[in-house]
Amino acid sequence: MTSRSYDVLAGAPDSPVLLHVPHSSRFVPPDVRDGILLGDGELDRELDHITDAHTAEIAAVAAAAAGSTPWQFVNRLSRLVVDPERFPDEREEMLAVGMGAVYTRTTHRAALRPTDFDPTPLVDRYFTPYAEAMAAAVAGRLEATGRAVIIDVHSYPTGPLPYELHGEGPRPPVCLGTDAFHTPPALLDAAREAFGGFGGLATDTPFAGTYVPLSYYGKDPRVSALMIEIRRDVYMSEPGGPAGPGARALGSALAALVDAVPPHPSA
């Protein structure tokens, strides 16, 4: 199933795992670009900072290497269009720095869009259909396997950027983001085992939490979730540079995590 804003790549019918890659793309449609205040060079630099570069490729390596192929849900638009992982309302703490579902400020807290910008058309056109499709993908795993395991694939810069609300914390090579309701200890332990060879890891620093579609969030314990945040110097040249050999190693580690998830709840 494909749309202009995301791809759902089918995995094994009995796999409960859904690799979610929300921030890997740099693509901004021309009509959306028209509403952004930055010049072309400034926009390129902002995309260097804000894009989780090469994370779709890391997920693809994992999907190809895993014993049971996971499903993949990949955003094909930049998060400067909409950020599908934000709350679409006042619950979102990043509104404090102009980074709710539709960003109005840059990573360096400069103006990205006009102060009178109305985010509603972008939310209606992109955010809501994406959320509905992600919820449908989760529903498909639940129907097929009795559960869904979302592994959220991200990256973050070696040094903190001005937009970060919790940038003062440790910045390990791998950060594991958890949710008290949706992250079971066994999944967290499996991630620690899989990603233990990259020079250190920590939980919920500098970024915390993980993505679950709102229709399931805090409601359905059959939906598990974990965020993998990879420090960019582990696998690429910063900012916005090419991937190095670390990307393939990370894909192999992600495959090991996928394989640590049994295909059935009772397995």
Q: pLDDT tens-digit profile of 102-140?
A: 999 999 999 999 999 999 999 999 999 999 999 999 999
Interval 139-168 mean pLDDT: 92
pLDDT category, 267, cuts 50, 70, 90? very low
Query: Look-up: residue for tokens 């972008």?
Result: 122
231 pLDDT higher than 90:
yes
Q: pLDDT tens-digit profile of 173-230?
A: 999 999 999 999 999 999 999 999 999 999 999 999 999 999 999 999 999 999 999 9
265 pLDDT higher than 60:
no
C-beta separation of 61 from 248 below 8 A? yes
Q: Counting beta carbons within 10 angstroms of the beta carbon of residue 117, is it exposed (0 to 12), middle (13 to 18) or buried (19 or more)?
A: middle
How many separate helices (H) and strands (E) can be counted in the chain?
Answer: 7, 7
Which pLDDT score is estimated for 171? Answer: 96
Instruction: Walk me through the domains of the chain, giving residue ranges and CATH numbers.
Output: 6-260 (3.40.630.40)
In degrees, rounded to 5, the angle at the alpha carbon of residue 230 between the alpha carbons of residues 213 and 52 is: 65
- The Cα–Cα gap between 211 and 48 comes to 23
Which pLDDT score is estimated for 209? Answer: 94
C-beta separation of 86 from 94 below 8 A? yes
Interval 164-169 mean pLDDT: 77
